[in-house]
Chains A and B, each alone.
Chain A
Amino acid sequence: MSEFKTYHPIVNFVYFVFAIGFSCFFMHPVCLCISLVSGFTYSVMLKGKKAIKTNLIYMLPMLLMMALINPAFNHEGVTIIEYLPSGNPLTLESIIYGLCAAVMIVSVVCHFSCYNEVMTSDKFIYLFGKIIPSMSLIISMTLRFVPKFASQLKVVTNAQRCMGRDVSNGSIIKCAKNGLNIMSIMTTWSLENAIETADSMKSRGYGIPGRTAFSIFTFDKRDKKTLVCILLLGIYTLAGNLMGEMDFRFFPSMKMAEVSVFGISVFVAYLLLCICPIIIELWEVRKWKALRSKI
């Protein structure tokens, strides 16, 4: 599944700006559901079963922890369920708010994992290399840092294991020693790697005016259509949100904006925006199957 990846970088970028931006700011439970489900589904489509595993192992505990931590510190709200041992009230509103905030963080993380998969650093540099050369290099290096670090860590660990110096060898103290050793190797490597990247970009004349760069991206009809769709949906959603159709009040009592036809249409637009790449992927699968059966 990589159809959306083959689109022009600007299409990918605009999609992620809307998807991540909206999931960061829309606190309405319906919006959170849309954003979580779409982000989760798309990350699974992109990365397969591995994504399900990471999501369940890391995201679920995080979600539960955050939902529990909020009511321990926030006691606002009119619906008092019980009194905490400290004497402060435990309110329904604070629990719901904690849950919503947790869902929001998890969905943003899901969207970012998709972003990392789709918006590779060459695409980012292609888009912003001309306008803000040094900034875009730094941003792309930063975004690439974690995945790159993880893959290099695997290489280093394997090499150390061959020499019997892995974290799984020997006594606890020895394990810790080996672990720290690997850590120091990784730190040195990442510092050196960053400098090397910067130097090599500089020596190739990166960022100098008048210099052109090779790219294989073409902006064709398909990109145009998708871009227009995404932009329209995004602007419509934003307009609906600014007009208060997605308002949701948590404190002091929970209250949502009144349901109207326009309000529902805004939610539908947001849903379509979020599942845009999923639709593209599924459409492509269908097309592929249809074409194959004809042969």
Chain B
Amino acid sequence: MRKHKNKIIAGVIIAIVLAFVFWYGGDAPGLRGWTPEPQEDVTVVQNDEPIKEEIAEAEKTISDIPVKEENAPATEENKPQKQDGTPMTPAEKIAMAEKIAESTQSSAEETTSSAEIKQSNEEYSEEQGMVINEVTGKDQYRTEPVPEGKPVPIEPENAVITDKELTCTLSVRCDTILQNIGWLDSEKVDIVPKDGVIFAEKTVTFYEGESVFNVLVREMKRNKIHMEFENTPIYNSAYIEGIANLYEFDCGELSGWMYKVNDWFPNYGCSRYQLKAGDKVEWVYTCDLGNDVGGHYSARNGK
């Protein structure tokens, strides 16, 4: 009898814990089982709760307010998925991201100019020299075929870097953090630039054959901006963990750095994207797997 009692209690406790976790959802905007959004927006506008070091940051806080008010409508627009109020499992979260991506894509009024050519094109990719495995439909580094008209990945070890100097534009921004400042790690609130610009758009020089990653490393080093990356052999590319001390997962569990070239979010790593003269490279911080910056394609393909 006593044994059974313990078993029942243990079972009930486990069920309660699971139910709580299910309801809790996750640590990212829109994943919680309840809807804290309205209240949170208030705190963002008032902006006294998330910042612990009020005294030093007083001036900064004041200057932050207008920025956030400007962004407030955009934030609400970005949040329709958050109102449904049902807790989600990780698999469902990804499914949700996909769904949103598809719906926004079909109603293609986004700024992304490449909305209509986003479908990956296997014939085109193979023509361009990508070797695609028939079984998985991906190449040896788990990359799906690229859309038509986009460059295929070039492995950094095969890239031929010449002395020819070319230019491209580079920028690094974190606007989405300002929209979701309540989610940001409270220790990092004071290092976020007021306008969200970490590296303003600028024409930079690179050598023919270099990748997006090479340019980012060089420019960050030159401008004394902190940047940390990690080499991931499975994708044969560097993964940018953090720029200017703003790291992945700092602003909710779906946050991190993404890059786009000429308004397209490549579906492969930045070490494999070979630059061409005049390319426009943008590094943006996302708080929602790319959905809030227009990187739907990547989100849909599980990045």
Interface on A for B, CB 8 Å cutoff? 75-78, 80, 83, 87-89, 91, 249, 251-253, 255
Contacts and interface: CB of A to CB of B under 8 A. Distances in A.
B247 A76 contact: yes
A78 B242 CA distance: 12
Given A249-B187, A252-B188, A252-B191, A78 B221 contact: no
A252 B245 contact: yes
B217 A87 contact: yes
B187 A91 contact: no
A199 B279 CA distance: 76
Contact of B245 (A76, A87, A88, A249): A76
B167 to A, nearest CB: 22
B224 interface: yes
A275 B224 CA distance: 45
Interface residues of B, number: 14
A88 B191 contact: no
A77 B226 contact: yes
A88 to B, nearest CB: 6
Given A76-B226, A252-B187, 4 more contacts: A76-B247, A77-B245, A249-B187, A252-B191
B226 A78 contact: yes
A132 to B, nearest CB: 15
26 contacts: A75-B226, A75-B228, A76-B226, A76-B228, A76-B242, A76-B245, A76-B247, A77-B226, A78-B191, A78-B226, A78-B245, A80-B224, A80-B226, A83-B221, A87-B221, A87-B229, A88-B228, A89-B227, A89-B228, A249-B187, A251-B187, A252-B188, A252-B191, A252-B245, A253-B191, A255-B53
Interface of B: 53, 187-188, 191, 217, 221, 224, 226-229, 242, 245, 247
A89 B226 contact: yes
Most chain A beta-carbon contacts within 10 A, residue among B187, B188, B245:
B245
A88 B224 CA distance: 12
Given A76-B247, A251-B187, A88 B242 contact: no
A235 B227 CA distance: 42
Contacts of A76: 226, 228, 242, 245, 247
B245 to A, nearest CB: 4
Contacts of B227: 89
A77 B242 CA distance: 11
B245 A251 contact: yes
Contacts of A91: 226
Nearest to B241: A75
B271 to A, nearest CB: 11
Nearest to A255: B53
A249 B53 CA distance: 12
